[in-house]
Copies of this chain bind each other. A is one copy, B any other.
Amino acid sequence: MRSDRLGETLLPKKLALPIFASDALSSVAYAPDEILIMLGLAGGAFAAMHSWQITLGVIFVMVIVVASYRQNVHAYPSGGGDYEVATENLGPKAGLTVASALLVDYVLTVAVSISSGVQNARAALPFISGHEVVIAVGLIVLLMAMNLRGVRESGKAFAIPVYAFMFGIIGMGVWGFIKGLTGTLGQAPSAGLELVAEPGHDAVGLAAMFLLLRAFSSGCAALTGVEAISNGVPAFKKPKSANAAATLLLMGVISVTMLASIIALSRMTGVQMADSSAVGEVLLRDGVPVGDTYVQDTVIGQLAKTVFSDFPIGLYFVTAVTGIILVLAANTAFNGFPVLGSILAKDGFLPRQLQSRGDRLAFSNGIAILAAAAIFLVIAYNADVTQLIQLYIVGVFVSFSMSQTGMIRHWNRLLKEETDPKARSKMFRARIINAVGAAMSITVLLVVLVTKFQAGAKYAILAMAVLYVMMLAINRHYRHVSQELALRDDLREAILPSRVHALVLVSKLHKPAMRAIAYARATRPSVLEALTVEVDPEETAALGREWIARDVPVTLKIVASPYREITRPIIDYVKSLRTDNPRDVVIVYVPEYVVGHWWEQLLHNQSALRLRVRLHFIPGVMVASVPWQLRSSEGQSDDWDDRSVPGRAGNIAP
């Protein structure tokens, strides 16, 4: 994407919704499952009794978070991602905390979405059962390959499956309710089973309370991805903020509708969900455990089978679009992760070479790291969504909490300067909403930490801490270097060396050596010598004879190598030049071969490479490589010219 063309691709709301909301909407594919599974730990009756309470709690949080982010969108029309909002209002360390949380969450988005997608597909494609991990890893590799190849889906390609997913889920809800009202809705496949409590999970007192909070924490997975629109405000058509806020509201409404209808349908059809690690024991058929051969479908899968019991196309449609939207949600992480990496690199928290957005290589690194980490998680947790969810929500709510707290500061600052009473009252209102959002986010974060720490959240926190410390260390390094390199006013570095002493390294008299000598002569140095290391006296003698026979117009200096090394005698000689004439600058011309294949590279230039590294440690020495293009290198630079565009050029004269 050319910088100056970014403005041409502004999005209308109907395209922005699917593009930014796939992550948020897709989470209704697993959030209801997690609510029912957590409650089900205390038995089927407990789950049936409390699932509505928990769902209403999640919807309440969703309403507040959406309302809060509408304020962000209005306040930062240039695109206030959580990282920027936290950095600007709470300082770089807060921003870095958010960034660590987001990086970990991108990995989890991929792992959770893909795992859930595979589980959902299983309802329609039973042969998947037992191969979930392999298929999930395969999908991640596929996504990685597509993103490495630079395949970008257009907005429209994105829109169709997202709208199909909404249509499928809401359509299933409507159809199910109609059937329910007409009394033709059947019972779910698992409704005939009895779900007994797992040992140690009593449905009374504090234990019951704790279980309700755990279910609530898991249900809050429905909120992941809500912040995506606030990052993308600049991509909206004008009025940007208003359109983005409207889209955000629409997304919230759709999300809540889908979540509520899935929970309602699951109550009407009697869906039973058990923790995957204990499915075989706690689900009883006629009082007998169903055993390890029982395959538990996802809630959406069970509902689709029940609602569309007489219309199998409906079942295939719903499971297909659910699987697809989950893969799309994972794909958003593949886009977001390297972009965040680029922003962090620009701010000096990650290696600087990740900064350049136009550079395919930098993005490739990010894509490969994301895929590798997600594959690790999928394998470590056996593609089990319930276990992965335990790690997931922490990062999301760290990010929400920091961002909303930052917004309070933002309004405080603006209120200090604003005098117009109308504007002030709007700001007051926004500040209250963000304050409620912040309080709510922090409360949920604490609940999540308490209920999930031991179950897995600790690993997510550990990963965030490691990233935080690493990024801080990188930043400290860059700052130290920058201070070390800053110019003082005396400009000692601009003093010209008095003379230039040029050395051409020669091992044989062949074309590359002759070219290096010719080029070095063309630069007209104060002193010019050719330098060779005597490893084998016979070879050196032959070189000397040819030197004289060819009448090479440069002195050939021969240094001995008592230990048959090559690098060391050259270094010693250069050091002696520097010691004798400290005000000279030495330039060492090294003939190098340019080859076409990586394995040819292994066969050449290795001593030149080591020599350059060593020479660089001596102050006042430049190393000039004089390339010789071997035939195999021909055409190698042109595989690169497909995107050539002439650039403007300008001068600043001295």
Contacts and interface: CB of A to CB of B under 8 A. Distances in A.
Closest 6 CB pairs of A and B: A617-B637, A358-B564, A493-B514, A624-B624, A353-B606, A358-B563
B497 A555 contact: no
A643 B550 CA distance: 37
Interface string A613-638: 01111110111111111110100110
Given A357-B564, A481-B593, A494-B514, A351 B559 contact: no
A495 interface: yes
A654 to B, nearest CB: 5
A569 interface: yes
Interface string A387-431: 000000000000000000000000000000000000000000000
Given A559-B647, A563-B2, A616-B594, A497 B511 contact: no
Contacts of A206: none
A494 B519 contact: no
A617 B633 contact: yes
A631 B480 CA distance: 10
11 contacts: A353-B607, A358-B563, A359-B565, A497-B518, A557-B651, A559-B648, A559-B649, A560-B647, A572-B644, A594-B616, A622-B624
B627 A621 contact: yes
Contacts of A624: 587, 622-625
Nearest to A600: B477
A547 interface: yes
A482 B647 CA distance: 40
A646 B572 contact: yes
A313 interface: no
B481 A630 contact: yes
Contact of A486 (B497, B511, B555, B616): B511
Interface in A558-613: 558-569, 571-573, 585, 587, 589, 592-594, 600, 602-604, 606-607, 610, 612
Contacts of A359: 564-567
Point out which of A351, A563, A600 has the most chain B C-beta atoms below 10 A from its C-beta.
A563
A152 interface: no
A524 interface: yes
A616 B610 contact: no
A602 B358 contact: no
Given A486-B510, A511-B493, A585-B522, A610 B654 contact: no
A343 interface: no
Given A563-B643, A647-B560, A649-B558, A617 B636 contact: yes
A484 B523 contact: no
B485 A510 contact: yes
B500 A487 contact: no
- State which size class the interface on A falls in: 35 or more
A486 B514 CA distance: 10
B637 A627 contact: no
A359 B563 CA distance: 8
A509 interface: yes
Contact of A652 (B518, B535, B558): B558
Given A357-B564, A359-B565, A623-B627, 7 more contacts: A481-B630, A484-B511, A555-B651, A558-B649, A563-B645, A617-B627, A622-B624
A623 B351 CA distance: 24
Contacts of A626: 622
Contacts of A351: 602-603, 606
Contacts of A455: none
A573 B644 CA distance: 12
Point out which of A481, A612, A615, A640 has the most chain B C-beta atoms below 10 A from its C-beta.
A481
A591 to B, nearest CB: 10
A548 interface: yes
A650 interface: yes
B603 A474 contact: yes
A552 B515 CA distance: 33
Contacts of A552: 494, 654
A512 interface: yes
Point out which of A550, A612, A617, A648 has the most chain B C-beta atoms below 10 A from its C-beta.
A617
Point out which of A551, A600, A628 has the most chain B C-beta atoms below 10 A from its C-beta.
A628
Contacts of A521: 496
B522 A496 contact: yes
B585 A519 contact: yes
A3 interface: yes
Nearest to A488: B511
Given A522-B500, A603-B474, A622-B519, A553 B514 contact: no
A336 interface: no
Interface string A448-488: 00000000000000000000000000100110011011110
Given A519-B497, A555-B651, A491 B550 contact: yes
A518 B500 contact: no
A352 B359 CA distance: 34
Given A353-B607, A646-B572, A358 B558 contact: no
A556 interface: yes
A155 interface: no
A289 interface: no
Contacts of A498: 522
A151 interface: no
Contacts of A621: 627
Contacts of A535: 356
